[in-house]
């Protein structure tokens, strides 16, 4: 998202490094002590936003990073004509 938001035409190593450092900084001391190097998946929206912001900033972009929220339709069981 950071690359898209900044409209970067190139992705240099510095942008990958910004993403990696940001991701690494999000793991707590407790998670690291338990052997987990990455933050928990339930925090994925926060993780994506922070990493995208760091990458966009590295690209020189200072604007907001849009956070897309999915809107799911209610589940409907499919009806089949076959037995």
Phi, psi of 53 (to 5 degrees): -65, -45
Per-residue pLDDT, 59: 82
Per-residue pLDDT, 20: 92
Lookup: tokens for 55 = 């990458």
Which among 69, 46, 70, 63 has a CA at the least distance from the CA of 4?
63
Question: CA 18 to CA 12: how far, in whole Å?
Answer: 10
Per-residue pLDDT, 48: 86
Question: pTM for the full model?
Answer: 0.68
Average pLDDT on 3-20 reads 82
For residue range 14-57, what is the model confidence (pLDDT) as tens digits? 888 999 999 889 888 998 899 988 888 888 888 888 888 888 88
Kindly tell me if the per-residue pLDDT of 83 is higher than 70.
no
Rounded alpha-carbon distances, angstroms, from residue 67 to 28, 31, 57, 80 = 24, 26, 16, 37
Lookup: tokens for 70 = 């999915």
């Amino acid at each position: 998202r950071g690359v898209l938001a900044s409209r970067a035409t190139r992705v240099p190593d510095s942008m990958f490094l910004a993403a990696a450092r940001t991701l690494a900084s999000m793991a707590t001391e407790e998670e690291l002590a338990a052997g987990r190097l990455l933050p928990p998946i339930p925090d994925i929206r926060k993780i994506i936003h922070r990493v995208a912001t760091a990458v966009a900033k590295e690209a020189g972009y200072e604007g907001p990073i849009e956070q897309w929220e999915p809107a799911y339709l209610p589940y409907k069981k499919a009806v089949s004509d076959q037995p």
